[in-house]
C-alpha cells in the first residue's frame, strides 16, 4: 500500500519517490506480513548457523581481513556491538535530518527483501526511530562507500550517541525513554548487517533525484523566460527539427519550450530579426534534454538498487534449502556511477544557465538597459550577480569530477576496490544546491529584464513565472544587498506548489513523473 501519508513495504516494488515521501515529507513506513515473514525466516537460518562450528563469514567469524577467525557463540553479541563502535568513525559536519531519514528508510527497505538475516527486532527498532522522528546525529564524512553512516545510526538503537528529537539535540537514551523504547541487544550478524550494503548512498541519491527533478523543470521555465526577453528565434524549437533528434529528453524539452512560449506577441514581433541565436538559447532542447536523459538513467539505476538485496553475506534460497553466500552486493558501483553522471548533467544545467544570464546583463549581447538598470554608472545593476553564478558553475565543474573512479586499499588486502558512493552522492547534493542558485539568479535577471522592456506582451506561461517571482521579490533598485533577493528566489525554487501551476502549460515538465523500475 502506497500513498502520500503511508507506505507499506513488501506489497509492491519500491520507487525512489517513496523514500522522498518518507524522508522529506513525513510519510510513515510499515512492513507487510510477507516482508516480516521473509525477515524472520532468514533470521532463523542465521541463528542456526551461529551455533555451529562451521565458519560462515560475518556470522561466527571476524570481519574483513579477520574473516578466518572463528568465534564462540558467546562472543557474537560482543562482535555485533564492537562492530558498530569501531565502524562509527565518521567525521565532519552532520548530515541533514532528511538525509539520515532517507538512509534509515533505505536500510529498512534492504532488510525487507528478506536476504540479510538481521534480527526482526533491529528492523522494528529502525522503524520506530523513523516513525517517531528520532534522528541520529550522523557525521557526513568518512565513508568509502558504506559502513560509517549506518554504524552511527545503529549505535542509536543501543542508546549511544545523540539524536534530534522534537526539535532538540539530546542524548539518545533520553529520546528513547521519551517514547518508551528500550535499547536493543544485538545478536549474530546484526552489527555487520547494520553497517553493510548500499542504503546510505541510495538514500542520499533518492533525495538528489527529487532535487534534480525540480531543477529540470525550473530550467525549462526560466530558460524560456530568458529566450523570450532576448528575442530568440523560434525556428530552433520547430517540431520538424526537434523530431530529427531521436533522444527522448530533447523532444520533451522542445515540447516544453514551445508550450511555455506559446502566445507570446513579444516574441512574434522579433522573429526574423537574425538568422540564429547563441547556442545557450537555441540549444536548450539538446542540452536540457541530454541532462534529462541522464536523470532518467540515474533514476532507473537507483530504483533498481532499492529493489535489490545488498548485504554480505546473504541468506539465499536454492533447491537444497538455504545457503549463506559471501559475495559483493554491497559494492555500490551502480549508484556511485549514477550519481557521478547526474553530477555532470547538473553542471550542464548550471553552465548553460550562466551563459544565458550572462547575455541578459551584457550590453553587447542584448538590447536591454546595461546590466539591467536604468541608472548604469551610478548603479551596477545585476552585474555582480553574474559573477556569483560564474563562481558557482566553476565549483559545479569541480564537483562533476567522478568519485567512483578513485580507489584505495582497506581492511588489509580484503577490500581492495571501493565505490566511494556516499562521496558521489554528497558532492551531487552540493552541485544541485549550486545549480539551483544559478537558476535562481537567471530567474531574477530574466524577471528584471521583463520589468524593463516596453513590449510586455509575453506568453501566458512566462508571464505567470514573472508574476510568481514578483509576488515575493520586487524589481531590484539597489536599496538592499542583492544577495537577499537571490536567496528569496532560491527559496521559491524549492517549492513544488509554485512549480505545479506550470504543468498545465508544459505536461513534460518533471522527468520524475515517469517511474523507472
CA distance 188 to 50: 7
d(CA 453, CA 162): 56
390 C-beta neighbours (distance < 10 Å), count: 15
Q: For residue 165, what are the β-bridge partners?
A: 168
Its sign, for the CA torsion 326, 331, 334, 335, is positive
Instruction: From 167, 162, 131, 150, select the one nearest 204 (Cα to Cα).
Output: 150
**What is the chain's length?**
517
DSSP state of 70: B
- Measured CA to CA, the distance from residue 512 to residue 100 in angstroms comes to 22
Q: And the C-alpha cell for 116?
A: 540479510
Catalytic residues: 57
Nearest CA among 511, 303, 330, 342 for reference residue 424: 342
Please report, for the chain, how many H helices and E strands are present, in that order: 20, 9
CA distance readout (Å), 230 to 219, 439, 455: 16, 17, 12
CA distance 195 to 186: 13
Contacts of 195 (CB under 8 A, 6+ apart): 83, 84, 87, 146, 147, 148, 150, 151, 154
CA separation for the pair 12, 112 (Å, rounded):
12
β-bridge partners, 168: 165
What is the dihedral angle through the alpha carbons of 258, 264, 269, 270, rounded to the nearest 10 degrees? Answer: -50
Element (H, E) at 449: helix 421-452
Gap between the Cα atoms of 223 and 237, Å rounded: 13
| Residue 247: CB atoms within 10 Å | 14
Strands (E), 128-260: 135-136, 139-141, 162-165, 168-171
- 336 exposure class (CB count in 10 Å sphere: 0-12, 13-18, 19+): buried
CA dihedral 121, 127, 130, 132 (to 10 degrees): -80
User: Omega of the bond prior to 313 within 30 degrees of 0, cis?
Assistant: yes
CA distance 240 to 414: 57
Report how far Cα 5 is from the mean position of its chain's Cα atoms: 20
Nearest to 55 by CA among 257, 250, 267, 326: 326
Amino acid at each position: 500500500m502506497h500513498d502520500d501519508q503511508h507506505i507499506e513495504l513488501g506489497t509492491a516494488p519500491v520507487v525512489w519517490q517513496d523514500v522522498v515521501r518518507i524522508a522529506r515529507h513525513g510519510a510513515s513506513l510499515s512492513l507487510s506480513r510477507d516482508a516480516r515473514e521473509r525477515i524472520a525466516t532468514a533470521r532463523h537460518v542465521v541463528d542456526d548457523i551461529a551455533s555451529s562450528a562451521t565458519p560462515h563469514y560475518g556470522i561466527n567469524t571476524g570481519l574483513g581481513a579477520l574473516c578466518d577467525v572463528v568465534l564462540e557463540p558467546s562472543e557474537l553479541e560482543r562482535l555485533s556491538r564492537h562492530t558498530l563502535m569501531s565502524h562509527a568513525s565518521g567525521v565532519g559536519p552532520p548530515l541533514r535530518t532528511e538525509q539520515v531519514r532517507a538512509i534509515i528508510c533505505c536500510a529498512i527497505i534492504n532488510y525487507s527483501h528478506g536476504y540479510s538475516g538481521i534480527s526482526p527486532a533491529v528492523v522494528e527498532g529502525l522503524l520506530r526511530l523513523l516513525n517517531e522522528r528520532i534522528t541520529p546525529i550522523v557525521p557526513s564524512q568518512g565513508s568509502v562507500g558504506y559502513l560509517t553512516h549506518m554504524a552511527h545510526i545503529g549505535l542509536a538503537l543501543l542508546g549511544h550517541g545523540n539524536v534530534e528529537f522534537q526539535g532538540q539535540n539530546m542524548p539518545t537514551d533520553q529520546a528513547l525513554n521519551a517514547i518508551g523504547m528500550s535499547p536493543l541487544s544485538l545478536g549474530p550478524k546484526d552489527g555487520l548487517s547494520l553497517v553493510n550494503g548500499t542504503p546510505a548512498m541510495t538514500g542520499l541519491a533518492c533525495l538528489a533525484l527529487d532535487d534534480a527533478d525540480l531543477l529540470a523543470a525550473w530550467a525549462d521555465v526560466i530558460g524560456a523566460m530568458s529566450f523570450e526577453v532576448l528575442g530568440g528565434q523560434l525556428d530552433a524549437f520547430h517540431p520538424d527539427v526537434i523530431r530529427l533528434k531521436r533522444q527522448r529528453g530533447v523532444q520533451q524539452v522542445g515540447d516544453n519550450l514551445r508550450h511555455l512560449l506559446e502566445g507570446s506577441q513579444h516574441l512574434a514581433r522579433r522573429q526574423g530579426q537574425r538568422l540564429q541565436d547563441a547556442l545557450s538559447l537555441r540549444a536548450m532542447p539538446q542540452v536540457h534534454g541530454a541532462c534529462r536523459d541522464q536523470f532518467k538513467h540515474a533514476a532507473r539505476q537507483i530504483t533498481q538498487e532499492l529493489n535489490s538485496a545488498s548485504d554480505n553475506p546473504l541468506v539465499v534460497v536454492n533447491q537444497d534449502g538455504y545457503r549463506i553466500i559471501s559475495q559483493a552486493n554491497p559494492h555500490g558501483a551502480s549508484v556511485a556511477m549514477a550519481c557521478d553522471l547526474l553530477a555532470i548533467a547538473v553542471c550542464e544545467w548550471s553552465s548553460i544557465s550562466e551563459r544565458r544570464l550572462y547575455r541578459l546583463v551584457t550590453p553587447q549581447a542584448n538590447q536591454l538597459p546595461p546590466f539591467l538598470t536604468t541608472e548604469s554608472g551610478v548603479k551596477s545593476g545585476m552585474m555582480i550577480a553574474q559573477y556569483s553564478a560564474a563562481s558557482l558553475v566553476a565549483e559545479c565543474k569541480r564537483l562533476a569530477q567522478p568519485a567512483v573512479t578513485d580507489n584505495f586499499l582497506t581492511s588489509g588486502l580484503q577490500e581492495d576496490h571501493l565505490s566511494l558512493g556516499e562521496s558521489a552522492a554528497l558532492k551531487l547534493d552540493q552541485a544541485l544546491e549550486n545549480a539551483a542558485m544559478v537558476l535562481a539568479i537567471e530567474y531574477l535577471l530574466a524577471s528584471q529584464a521583463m520589468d524593463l522592456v516596453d513590449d510586455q506582451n509575453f506568453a501566458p506561461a512566462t508571464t505567470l513565472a514573472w508574476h510568481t517571482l514578483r509576488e515575493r521579490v520586487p524589481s531590484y533598485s539597489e536599496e538592499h544587498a542583492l544577495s537577499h533577493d537571490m536567496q528569496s528566489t532560491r527559496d521559491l525554487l524549492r517549492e513544488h506548489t509554485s512549480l505545479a501551476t506550470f504543468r498545465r502549460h508544459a505536461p513534460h515538465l518533471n522527468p520524475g513523473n515517469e517511474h523507472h523500475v
